[in-house]
């Protein structure tokens, strides 16, 4: 029996590798879904607190079970498929956006070695998957056969495609500094205390990297359709954008996908700019806390900022959004790539 | 059979079969949006084949560029097209003889070409990879691109730049007499500039 188990979990064999990877995937999915329930609640609570409301406080102590109640509500409602829809694509679209949101997580290292697949081209994989995520939205909007949905989908796609460009260039600056596309190596390159973290390092290049972190954060807001860039769902103009016609479970899938993408963006800020799983200072009381918790703290802090932005900032006008993406962020991030490459070659002597 | 040999083989046949099936779907689907979706799936399967060959960089670029950008553009255009399907299918019988003839000629040419094709004896030498197999393919590609072929890639960049500027010049024309927004003026505007408080005397007005 013991032999069987050692064989089953031996990662050098194909069978063992498959079993271990499946278990890792299961672990990621379960932990992500459960934390998502509470992250959603936190989002609503923070938003409520800013507006001096109480927020959800009825289901469970402090409303802790609110997300689960919502889940049951969504799951037991009737799925309504409007007449004139392309039925197959209408049902496929939310699944697509959920699956894309989940598979992006397969390259995120949350602690040393805690990653489903340690790809050498991890960053490129993330960019590729996030460009695929557009399809869930555009197909859902088109298949609904509704003007509001279609307009919302077009807006959303144009917005996501525009901001992906500047996100790409910001990522290039980090790649240049780390000298690798592997996410674990990017995190390792920032080891040794918070003064080595890309975003806030004690080094002249921080004058470039700190603004780049802000650009990345704002682009991440636009990329995930969060306020102040939630024009695809602008309720005063488009009812609810691409998801007008979606109800019950299908809507739930869209929503889980959206929040997974938001948390993914928080993790990316953590990995690229805030040293990933590393403790801020490499001495005793800080190193007692396991790395995965440091990762979670940082990601949750960024999520807190996401929630605060949602509560504080009014919605952008669409032309201003496009102007910000193409005329401000794109030239800024391209300039930063030039500066960082110059820094790497001339100041650090790298090539 | 050993799993380590079996799995890549199974994966190859799955991806290759899917690529062919989806490619057939592109030309046979009645709805153009579905055609584009099949095209996307074909790109995706091709990317899977690249990964199996160990060219993961090419696979990611294929997905990013073709699936993420080009196909989105296709979808935009196709979704906004106003197509009358009945009218579209009407000419089918008229064009069948000509189309069939073209297809026949192409098929015969391909068969003739395939029958007369043989591997040159010098080809083996050209197949040697310029970079040894143990460097990862991202580094291998960039070492070739930015050292041996640096000038060619610069030239390609220039061609693209010219094309981009040409596209902008062709499509961008300013209509005279249209009010445009000056964003910096809008942002720089303060309450003091915009609002003037006037002490209006009773019974006088302005």
* Percent of chain B scoring above 70 in pLDDT: 87
- How many angstroms separate the CA of residue A125 from the nearest CA in chain B? 6
pLDDT of residue B88: 67
Q: What is the pLDDT of residues B120-131, one digit of tens each?
A: 777 777 666 655
pLDDT one-digit tens code per residue, B94-106: 788 888 999 999 9
Higher-pLDDT residue of B155 and A246 is B155
Terminal-residue alpha carbon distance, chain B: 97
Taking CB atoms and an 8 Å limit, are A128 and B63 in contact across chains? yes
What average pLDDT does the segment B44-54 reach? Answer: 87
- Label residue A169 exposed, middle or buried (CB < 10 Å: 0-12, 13-18, 19+): buried
Q: Is B5 on the interface with A (CB under 8 A)?
A: no
The distance of Cα A75 from the centroid of its chain, to the nearest Å, equals: 24
Please check whether residue A105 is in contact with residue A168, taking contact to mean a CB–CB distance below 8 angstroms: no
Closest chain A residue to B136, measured at CA: A120
- Searching chain A, which residue's CA lies closest to the CA of residue B44? A132
pLDDT of the residue at A205: 83
Q: What is the pLDDT of residue A7?
A: 67
Element (H, E) at B130: none
Q: Are B30 and B45 in contact (CB under 8 A)?
A: no
List the single best residue of B10, B33, B60, B147 to mutate versus A (max A Cβ within 10 A). Answer: B60
Q: What is the DSSP letter of B148?
A: I
Asked if the model's pLDDT at residue B47 lies above 80, the reply is yes
Mind listing the pLDDT tens digit for each residue in A63-77? 888 888 888 888 888
With an 8 Å Cβ cutoff, are A14 and B3 in contact? yes
Size of interface A-B (CB pairs under 8 A): 64
Q: Which residues of A touch B76 (CB under 8 A)?
A: 154, 157
Q: What is the structure's pLDDT at B163?
A: 95
Q: Which of A99, A125, A131 has the most B C-beta neighbours within 10 Å, making it the best mutation to test the interface with B?
A: A131
Residues of chain A with pLDDT under 50: none
Q: State the nearest Cα–Cα gap between A205 and chain B, in angstroms.
A: 25
Q: Which residues of B touch A320 (CB under 8 A)?
A: 183
Distance from the B155 Cα atom to the nearest Cα atom in chain A, whole angstroms: 20
Residues 37 through 96 of chain B touching chain A, CB cutoff 8 Å: 37, 40, 56-57, 60-61, 63-64, 67-69, 72, 75-76, 79
One DSSP character per residue, A166-213 reads HHHHHHHHHHHHHT-S-HHHHHHTT-SSGGGSTTT-SSTTHHHHHHHH
A134 and B72: CB-CB below 8 Å? yes
Tell whether B2 lies on the interface with A, counting CB pairs under 8 A: yes
- pLDDT tens string B169-195: 998 877 788 887 788 888 888 888 878
| Residue B183 to residue A320, Cβ atoms within 8 A | yes
Inform me whether the C-beta atom of residue B109 falls under 8 Å from chain A C-beta atoms: no
Which of A125, A132, A154 has the CB atom closest to B68's CB atom?
A132
Nearest Cα to Cα of residue A292 among A196, A216, A187: A187
| B31 touches A: beta carbon within 8 Å | yes
CB B35 within 8 A of CB B26: yes
Asked if the Cβ–Cβ distance from A132 to B63 is below 8 Å, we say yes
pTM for this predicted structure: 0.83
How close, in Å, is residue A80 to chain B by CA atoms?
22
CB of A209 closer than 8 Å to CB of A199: yes
Sign of the Cα pseudo-torsion (A105, A109, A111, A117, in order): positive
From A284's Cα to the closest Cα of chain B, the distance in A is 38
For chain B, percent of residues with pLDDT exceeding 90: 22
Residue A245 near residue A262 (C-beta atoms within 8 A): no
Higher pLDDT, A84 or B26: B26
Whole-angstrom distance, CA of residue B106 vs CA of residue A207 = 61
Are B64 and A124 an interchain contact pair (Cβ–Cβ within 8 Å)?
A: yes
Chain A positions touching B7 (Cβ under 8 A) are: 14
- Shortest CB distance from A128 goes to which of B64, B76, B136? B64
Cβ atoms of A226 and A236 within 8 Å: the answer is: no
- Indicate yes or no: CB of B69 within 8 angstroms of CB of A127: no
Q: What is d(CA A141, CA A96) in angstroms, rounded to the nearest whole number?
A: 13
What CA–CA distance (Å, rounded) separates A57 from A33? 21
Res B44: pLDDT: 87
């920032």: which residue's tokens? A190
| C-beta of residue A218 within 8 angstroms of C-beta of residue A227 | no
ipTM above 0.90, yes or no: no
Q: Which of B165, B130, B122 is nearest to B149 (CA)?
A: B130
Assign B57 a pLDDT band (cuts: 50, 70, 90).
confident
Residue A152 contacts residue A250 (beta carbons within 8 Å): no
Chain B CB contacts of A120 below 8 Å: 56, 136, 138
């Amino acid at each position: 029996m013991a032999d069987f188990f050692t064989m089953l979990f031996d990662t050098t064999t194909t069978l063992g590798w498959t079993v271990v990877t499946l278990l890792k995937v299961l672990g990621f999915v379960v932990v992500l879904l459960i934390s998502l329930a509470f992250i959603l609640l936190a989002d609503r609570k923070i938003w409520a607190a800013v507006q001096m409301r109480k927020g959800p406080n009825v289901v469970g102590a402090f409303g802790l079970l609110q997300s689960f109640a919502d889940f049951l509500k969504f799951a037991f409602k009737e799925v309504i498929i409007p007449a004139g829809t392309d039925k197959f694509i209408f049902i496929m679209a939310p699944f697509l956006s959920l699956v894309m949101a989940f598979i992006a997580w397969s390259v995120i290292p949350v602690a040393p070695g805690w990653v489903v697949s340690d790809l050498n081209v991890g960053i490129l994989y993330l960019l590729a998957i996030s460009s695929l995520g557009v399809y869930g939205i555009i197909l859902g909007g088109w298949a609904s056969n509704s003007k509001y949905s279609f307009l919302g989908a077009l807006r959303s796609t144009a917005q996501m495609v525009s901001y992906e460009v500047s996100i790409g260039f910001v990522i290039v600056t980090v790649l240049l500094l780390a000298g690798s596309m592997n996410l674990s190596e990017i995190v390792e390159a920032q080891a040794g205390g918070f003064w080595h973290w890309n975003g806030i390092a004690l080094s002249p290049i921080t004058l470039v990297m700190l603004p780049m972190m802000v650009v990345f954060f704002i682009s991440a807001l636009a990329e995930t359709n969060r306020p102040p860039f939630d024009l695809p769902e602008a309720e005063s103009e488009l009812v609810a954008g691409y998801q007008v016609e979606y109800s019950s479970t299908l809507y739930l899938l869209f929503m889980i996908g959206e929040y997974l993408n938001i948390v993914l963006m928080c993790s990316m800020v953590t990995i690229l700019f805030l040293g990933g799983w590393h403790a801020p200072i490499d001495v005793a009381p800080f190193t007692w806390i396991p790395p995965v918790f440091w990762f979670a703290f940082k990601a949750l802090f960024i999520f807190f900022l996401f929630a605060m932005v949602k509560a504080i900032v009014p919605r952008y006008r669409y032309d201003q959004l496009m102007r910000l993406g193409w005329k401000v962020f794109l030239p800024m991030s391209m300039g930063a790539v030039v500066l960082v490459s110059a820094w790497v070659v001339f100041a650090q002597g790298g090539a | 059979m050993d799993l380590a040999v079996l799995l890549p083989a199974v994966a190859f046949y799955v991806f290759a079969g899917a690529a062919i099936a989806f490619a057939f779907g592109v030309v046979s689907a009645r709805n153009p949006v579905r055609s584009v979706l099949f095209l996307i799936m074909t790109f995706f399967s091709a990317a899977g084949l690249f990964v199996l060959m160990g060219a993961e960089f090419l696979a990611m670029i294929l997905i990013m560029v073709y699936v993420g950008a080009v196909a989105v553009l296709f979808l935009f255009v196709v979704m906004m097209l106003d197509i009358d399907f009945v009218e579209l299918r009407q000419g089918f019988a008229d064009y069948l003889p000509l189309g069939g003839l073209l297809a026949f000629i192409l098929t015969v040419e391909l068969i003739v070409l395939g029958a007369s094709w043989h591997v040159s004896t010098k080809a083996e030498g050209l197949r040697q990879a310029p970079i040894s197999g143990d460097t990862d393919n991202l580094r291998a590609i960039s070492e070739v691109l930015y050292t041996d072929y640096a000038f060619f890639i610069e030239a390609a960049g220039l061609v693209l730049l010219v094309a981009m500027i040409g596209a902008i010049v062709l499509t961008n024309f300013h209509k005279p007499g249209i009010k445009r927004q000056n964003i910096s003026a809008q942002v720089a505007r303060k309450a003091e500039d915009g609002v003037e408080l006037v002490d209006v005397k009773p019974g006088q007005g302005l």
